[in-house]
Structure 1
Amino acid sequence: MSKNNKKQQYLIPMEVTPETIRDFGIKKEDVVPAKIGNKIVSAIMIPTDDEELYLTYMRPIWAEMKREERSRRCIVSDGKGRLKRCEMDCKVCKKMKDGAPLSLESFFEETELEFEDPAANQCEIILTAILFEDLLENLRKKAPELAPIFEMLYDGKSQRTIANLINKPQSSVNDMIKRMRTILQQHISRDDLAK
């Protein structure tokens, strides 16, 4: 075979552990650091001249590396009021330090994003839970058969699902919900809640 017809050799990294090295008698000088996916591991390089085999093995590794690299990029304004991943070279970026934005302040300034106050959001969650418990307790007193329906609706179940769960026609569930609404509206319009 002439020098020009020689097939190209490809090296496929195969991760090894100290146990693998010991059990298979791998020479320590054959073990090299290699990046497989998003981590650097001890590996041996398996030679092959089968390009298809090499590509089949390496493509998922390359895709994982690309996803990881992309996920570390800053989110920046696209100049049209939307956000996009930064396409600049991270190594020379003034906003980057160890692969992360220097500050949230500069991120907010650039993107012009505003986030809700987490404490206000927490208060809303607590108030919703208190109101739900109050309404549920009222239903348990006035129409105990409707309380489970109210809980299922609160959990996001559809009328059809509720009908299947309680073995009643959907029209009956619809009537129960109307009755439940009337009871709860009367309860909500009480003077102590209206203040």
Structure 2
Amino acid sequence: MDKFENTQANNEKDENKQYYIPMEVTAETIKDFGIDPADVVWTKIGNRKKRVVMIAATEEQYKAYMRPLWREDKRQQRQEPMASLDKMYEETEYEAADTSDLEADIMKAIMIDELRKALDELEEIDRTIMDMYSRGQSEAEIGQAVGMSQRGVNKRKHKVLLKLKSRLKDYE
């Protein structure tokens, strides 16, 4: 066979070629439409295997149906096979380092240390009042515990708070 005859034979094969479009079916559609179960085959539609019936179609119908599927296959083939390190880093949630302020953290630690020293220097009764107050107890309850009136506890508490505030004003 020469080249011309070979090309002519291939063209005749293409003209006689039958095209099929897969139509997905379920058990209900097979039953409802009286589809012969022997005609049902498993085939890949997109990236998934589906139960289908092959429907005869023209070449144009076939290509119109298949083009989006071919495009999707090509797109997936072009995707990078391994995720880049940059992409993995971008997709990972980290606490941003710039959200913490080192200077503010150090100042806070120094202020807490100074507050502890100031509380240690208080009289025993004032430390008791502040301890109970920090645990949410009422002034009346504190007064009963330390042997003072509620008003006396209130005055002492305010004096202590003013003393602590003036001592810590440099750390604000």
Normalised to the residue count of structure 1, the TM-score between the two structures is 0.37
Structure (1 or 2) with the larger CA radius of gyration = 2
Q: Greater RCO between the two (CA within 8 Å, min separation 6)?
A: 2
The normalised TM-score by structure 2 is 0.42
